[in-house]
Chains A and B, each alone.
Chain A
Amino acid sequence: LAKTTQPISMDSYEGQEVNITCSHNNIATNDYITWYQQFPSQGPRFIIQGYKTKVTNEVASLFIPADRKSSTLSLPRVSLSDTAVYYCLVGNQAGTALIFGKGTTLSVSS
């Protein structure tokens, strides 16, 4: 499974757009990119998944360039409740082992 690299922490203010970039230089052809959000003492929560170009859902957008060696999670107009750890993962099959890094701790202030 491809290894991912993401910033350890990010700070933002309420109402701003936050972009978290993840590097995955060794991503395989069959790999998808998945992002999870985790609050303290809770299980990770699925945010978004994509393969290429752009994916958007009700909470976030995922931008994937043509070479797929990186991806950017975009959170529009963050609020205090978006303070959490965000994990970027790559893998090629659902239900198999997910390899988590340390994630990005996002802190949103008022």
Chain B
Amino acid sequence: DAGVTQSPTHLIKTRGQHVTLRCSPISGHKSVSWYQQVLGQGPQFIFQYYEKEERGRGNFPDRFSARQFPNYSSELNVNALLLGDSALYLCASSLGQGVLTPPFFGPGTRLTVL
């Protein structure tokens, strides 16, 4: 079975641009979460979506937004990119709320902002 997939693998943008990152969860998983990991730190929670609705949001500015589609895939959008947005962006999927199974992470998208 395929795990969590993310695209693109790497991305280079310049300040002020916009970026869209994509995630496909494990088949059967209905919850998707997004995390940002800067070098040397642990992942930081950005968003969680379940059944196409936002169920949690971390301490990130409104430049960050996300959505989940009927097939449970998800997009993370970041507007007006800053140098500090350079990071590994991770997507994790799980069966859903109320079901105690640990989230499984994708390989991540490495975003570099110049």
Give the interface of A toward B (CB within 8 A): 32, 34, 36, 41-46, 49, 87, 93-103
Q: How far is the CB of B33 from chain A (nearest CB, A)?
A: 7
How many inter-chain contacts with C-beta < 8 Å in the A-B complex?
74
CB pair B94–A42 under 8 Å, yes or no, is no
CB pair B105–A95 under 8 Å, yes or no, is no
B95 within 8 Å of A by Cβ? yes
CB pair B104–A46 under 8 Å, yes or no, is yes
Q: How far is the CB of A86 from chain B (nearest CB, A)?
A: 11
Per the CB 8 Å criterion, the residue count for chain B at the interface is: 34
Main secondary structure of the interface of A (DSSP, over half): loop
The stretch among B14-22, B37-45, B68-76, B77-85 that forms the contact with chain A is B37-45
CB pair A93–B43 under 8 Å, yes or no, is no
Given A41-B88, A103-B42; A97-B108 close (CB under 8 Å): no
In the complex, what distance in Å separates the CA atom of A95 from the CA atom of B31?
6
